[in-house]
């Protein structure tokens, strides 16, 4: 039994490697939902969809979100009505949001619906949203005139291209939320808990903020292994560097180790960061070196193998 904590594209690639080296049905994935938002009345779950589409073999090969061969007729047509179109919902992708929204309106939980969508894509690992309750990442930025403003995550990341400097991050709703059914059980039952190479602040951070999750991880610390999403001081993709720097974290595998030290006994770092092993171990986290840049499925599978071996 393997339980993974996951955000978006980095996690999706890692998980597609993982299911090549262990039986897919033995894998449970707890997915960040604090990036979820309502667009045009529909509930969009970016990380759940990225992981589902990737494990279903239908992800866009480059852009890190959305489907292969996607079209954008609907979102472009919304411009006629003065609606914002910066969040590029594809036509095929829309079907997922329509289905999810209609099922939510019918009273189904997000975790039930997530299972239905995963099944529709032939995804064998069990996907669970971190919570069925709404939790929303809010990012406080500083404007050129020195004032601060709190933005929904997608507005900062997509609309404003992650450009405004970040001063703080919170996960609205987290205190009142409960873990989705099966989350704590999956952490308790797992032989190995994997923290995927995802943004530590806004992908892994919200999962940790769900009451009970961090404590469950702390209790299993020896069985928790993370993969640093930072290679040579930079994220492979996404805004982790701007977020970590804004929150005063060192943008490096050492900064990741420090953020995870309480609940993560082992951290896989990139071969290019091998010279920082001593620094990682100085914060109390065992460092294991591997090739973490997942340029193809073979590398992802090898990384998954190395990650499991690190706590074997």
98 binds a copy of itself (CB under 8 A): yes
102 binds a copy of itself (CB under 8 A): yes
The residue range among 2-10, 101-109, 180-188, 200-208 that interacts with a copy of itself, by the rule CB under 8 A, is 101-109
Nearest to a copy of itself of 123, 194 (CB atom): 123
Nearest approach in angstroms of CB 44 to a copy of itself is: 13
Q: What is the rounded CA–CA span in Å between residue 21 and residue 300?
A: 10
Nearest to a copy of itself of 98, 218 (CB atom): 98
Show the site string, 50-89: x = touches a copy of itself by CB under 8 A, - = not. --------------------xx-xxxxxx-xxxx------
Nearest to a copy of itself of 103, 237 (CB atom): 103
Give the alpha-carbon dihedral of 201, 207, 212, 215, to 10 degrees. Answer: -50
Nearest approach in angstroms of CB 129 to a copy of itself is: 17
Kindly tell me which residue out of 1, 21, 40, 108 binds a copy of itself, with binding defined by CB under 8 A.
40
* Bridge pairing between strands 126-129 and 234-235: unpaired
Nearest approach in angstroms of CB 13 to a copy of itself is: 23
Kindly tell me which residue out of 57, 84, 95, 215 binds a copy of itself, with binding defined by CB under 8 A.
95
282 binds a copy of itself (CB under 8 A): no
Kindly tell me which residue out of 23, 25, 120, 222 binds a copy of itself, with binding defined by CB under 8 A.
120
Nearest to a copy of itself of 134, 211 (CB atom): 134
Nearest approach in angstroms of CB 92 to a copy of itself is: 4
The residue range among 116-124, 179-187, 268-276, 298-306 that interacts with a copy of itself, by the rule CB under 8 A, is 116-124
Count residues near a copy of itself (CB under 8 A): 31
- DSSP letters spanning the chain: -EEEEE-SHHHHHHHHHHHHHS-GGGEEEEE--TT-EEETTEEE-HHHHHHHHHHTT-B-TTTSSSBTT---HHHHHHGGGT----S---HHHHHHHHHHHHHHHTT--HHHHHHHHHHHTT--SEEEESBSS--EEEEEEE-TTS-EEEEEHHIIIIITTT-SPEEEEEEETTTT--BPTTHHHHHHH-SEEEE-S--IIIIIHHHHHSTTHHHHHHHTGGGEEEE-SEETTEESSSSHHHHHHHTT--SSHHHHHHHHTTT-SEEEEEGGGGGGHHHHHHTT-EEEEE-----SHHHHHHHHHHHHHHT-
Binding site for a copy of itself (CB under 8 A): 40-42, 70-71, 73-78, 80-83, 90-96, 98-99, 101-102, 105, 116-117, 120-121
């Amino acid at each position: 039994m393997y339980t993974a904590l996951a955000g978006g594209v980095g996690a999706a690639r890692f998980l597609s490697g993982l299911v090549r080296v262990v039986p897919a049905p033995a894998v449970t994935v707890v997915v960040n939902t604090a990036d979820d938002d309502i667009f045009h009345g529909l509930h969009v779950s970016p990380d759940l969809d990225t992981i589902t589409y990737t494990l279903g073999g239908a992800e866009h090969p480059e852009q890190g979100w959305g489907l292969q061969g996607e079209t954008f007729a609907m979102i472009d047509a919304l411009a006629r009505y003065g609606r914002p179109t910066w969040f590029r919902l594809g036509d095929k992708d829309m079907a997922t949001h329509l289905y999810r929204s209609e099922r939510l309106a019918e009273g189904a939980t997000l975790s039930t619906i997530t299972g239905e969508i995963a099944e529709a894509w032939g995804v064998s690992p069990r996907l669970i949203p971190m919570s069925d309750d709404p939790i929303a990442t809010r990012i406080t930025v500083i404007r050129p005139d020195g004032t601060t403003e709190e933005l929904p995550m997608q507005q900062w990341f997509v609309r404003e291209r992650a450009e405004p400097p970040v001063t703080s991050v919170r996960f609205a709703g987290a205190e009142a939320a409960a873990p989705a059914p099966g989350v704590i059980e999956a952490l308790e039952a797992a032989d190995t808990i994997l923290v995927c190479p995802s943004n530590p602040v806004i992908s892994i951070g919200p999962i940790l903020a769900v009451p009970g999750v961090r404590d469950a991880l702390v209790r299993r610390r020896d069985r928790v292994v993370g993969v640093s999403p930072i290679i040579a001081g930079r994220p492979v993709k996404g805004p982790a560097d701007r977020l970590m720097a804004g929150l005063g974290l060192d943008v490096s595998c050492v900064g990741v180790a420090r953020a995870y030290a309480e609940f993560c006994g082992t951290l896989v770092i990139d071969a290019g960061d091998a010279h920082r092993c001593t620094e990682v171990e100085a914060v109390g986290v065992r460092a294991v070196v591997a090739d973490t840049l997942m340029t193809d499925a073979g590398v992802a599978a090898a990384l998954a193998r190395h990650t499991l071996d690190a706590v074997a």
